[in-house]
Amino acid sequence: MSTEEQPVSESAAGPVTHCPTCNRKLLTQTSALCNWCGAKISDPNYQERAAQTRLAADATERARIAAIIQEEGRYGVLGRLKRRAKGVTGAPQVEPLNPNEL
C-alpha cells in the first residue's frame, strides 16, 4: 500500500476530509457528493453526519422564515420593512392578543 492511497475504512481512522475518488479536500461536510468530481461519498458515518447537519440547517432556516411570517402577519409587509429600517431586529417575543380568550 503506497502512501498516497486512502485506507479502506476511513470511518475508523476519523472523519472523511478527502474524496475517496479524486482525493481532493471536501469543501463542505454537508454534501452527500464530492464537491469536485460529484462522486458519492460511501462512508455511512459521513452520510449520517451530513444528513444531521443538513437537518439542523433546515430547521434553523424554517425557524427564521416562521419568525418573518409571524412578524409580517402582525405588522404587515410594510410594517416589517419599516421596523428593519429603524433597526428593530427579529420578530416580537410576545404573542398577539387573541380576542376569543378575553
Read off the pLDDT of residues 74-84 as tens digits, 9 standing for 90 and up: 888 888 788 88
pLDDT score recorded for residue 86: 84
Residue 95 lies in a domain: no
Look up residue 34 and give its three cell numbers: 464530492
pLDDT score recorded for residue 24: 92
Residue 66 lies in a domain: yes
Model confidence, pTM: 0.56
Residue 93 lies in a domain: no
Residue 32 lies in a domain: yes
d(CA 38, CA 68): 35
Residue 80 lies in a domain: yes
Residue 19 lies in a domain: yes
The 10s digit of each residue's pLDDT in 33-66 is 998 999 999 899 999 999 999 999 999 999 999 9
pLDDT score recorded for residue 52: 94
Residue 3 lies in a domain: no
Residue with cell 416589517: 80
Residue 17 neighbours by CB under 8 Å, 6+ apart: 25, 26
Range of the domain at 59: 10-85
Q: In the chain, how many domains are there? A: 1
Greatest Cα-to-Cα distance within the chain, rounded to the nearest angstrom: 76
d(CA 48, CA 53): 9
